[in-house]
Amino acid sequence: MHGPTADLFADAALQQPPGREQIGEESYVLRGYALPWIDRLLPELRRVLAQSPFRQMVTPGGFTMSAALSSCGALGWTTDSAGYRYTPLDPRSQQPWPTMPDALHEFATRAATEAGFPDFSPDACLINRYVPGAKMSLHQDKNERSYTAPVVSVSLGLPAIFLFGGHERSDKTQKISLFHGDVVVWGGVDRLRFHGVMPIKEGVHPIMGPQRINLTFRTAG
Ligand SMILES: O=C(O)CCC(=O)C(=O)O
């Protein structure tokens, strides 16, 4: 077998068994943690995206991000020439972002608890869509009002290589393979660590199709 399908099978063979892998002092990968939730999460996600569809946003420096974005919750993350920030309204519709569905909120709080953050109550869920070739450059999540809450990030669809760095952009990064259903949680002393995603490889995921969708839950306000 050759091509993207063969790559996908090769990646699936690398998939890690369920369990909690520590990747930092207060950071974990929860392998397959979202799998039992998928049937609850996907219909809710579809409803959110019907209301606030994916769009490509432009950085303050004028670059169009390769990942397309949407949000749900009281606050949504946006970027344009005026800067990076959270807004209560979807700038495209000038309406509030879709409410965060209960299933998503419950999922995120349980995942956070599993990683040692029992008081997590997210008010923002950023939804990133990566088609093959799309990536996310190394960055820190710094637009939230406080950094006491962790970030909970769930991967759906095509595999990705997540880069988990240190507190300086130039610090060495760990390369962590993430698969459909994996969850990464980082908080506490690790909350401001640089992170990013390498370009997604070609492929077609049996449930999600030719894309990777990532949900990141944060307490922003
Ligand atoms: O897609 C991912 O796994 C990470 C997304 C991310 O870094 C972010 O939304 O800040």
Average pLDDT over residues 87-103: 98
The more confident residue out of 10 and 147 is 147
Question: The dihedral of CA 196, 202, 205, 211: what is its sign?
Answer: positive
pLDDT over threshold 50, residue 1: no
Confidence of residue 16 (pLDDT cuts 50, 70, 90): confident
Range of 183's domain?
A: 3-218
Number of domains the chain contains = 1
Backbone angles phi, psi at 81, to 5 degrees: -65, -20
The response to whether residue 195 sits with its C-beta less than 6 Å from ligand 1 reads: yes
- Give yes or no for a contact between 186 and 150, defined as CB atoms under 8 angstroms apart: yes
Atom nearest to 212 CA in ligand 1: 1
**For ligand 1, mutation pick of 30, 197, 208 (most atoms within 8 Å of CB):** 197
Residues 45-80 have pLDDT tens digits of 999 999 999 999 999 999 999 999 999 999 999 999
Average pLDDT over residues 103-117: 98
Name the average pLDDT for the chain. Answer: 95
Query: Which token pair is 162?
Result: 């997540």
What pLDDT is recorded for position 71? 98
Atom nearest to 126 CA in ligand 1: 9
Average pLDDT over residues 32-45: 98
The more confident residue out of 18 and 181 is 181
The response to whether residue 75 sits with its C-beta less than 6 Å from ligand 1 reads: no
Please tell me the distance between residue 215's alpha carbon and the centre of ligand 1 in angstroms. 8
pLDDT over threshold 60, residue 32: yes
- DSSP, residue by residue, 2-42: -HHHHHHHHHHHHPPPSEEEEEETTEEEEETTTGGGHHHHH
pLDDT over threshold 90, residue 15: no
Cα(200)–Cα(32) distance, integer angstroms: 19
CA-to-CA separations, 102 to 49, 60, 125, in angstroms, rounded: 16, 33, 12
Residues 162-217 have pLDDT tens digits of 999 999 999 999 999 999 999 999 999 999 999 999 999 999 999 999 999 999 99
Atom nearest to 216 CA in ligand 1: 9
**For ligand 1, mutation pick of 70, 162, 212 (most atoms within 8 Å of CB):** 162
What pLDDT is recorded for position 17? 77
The response to whether residue 176 sits with its C-beta less than 6 Å from ligand 1 reads: no
CATH of the domain at 47: 2.60.120.590
- Give yes or no for a contact between 193 and 166, defined as CB atoms under 8 angstroms apart: yes
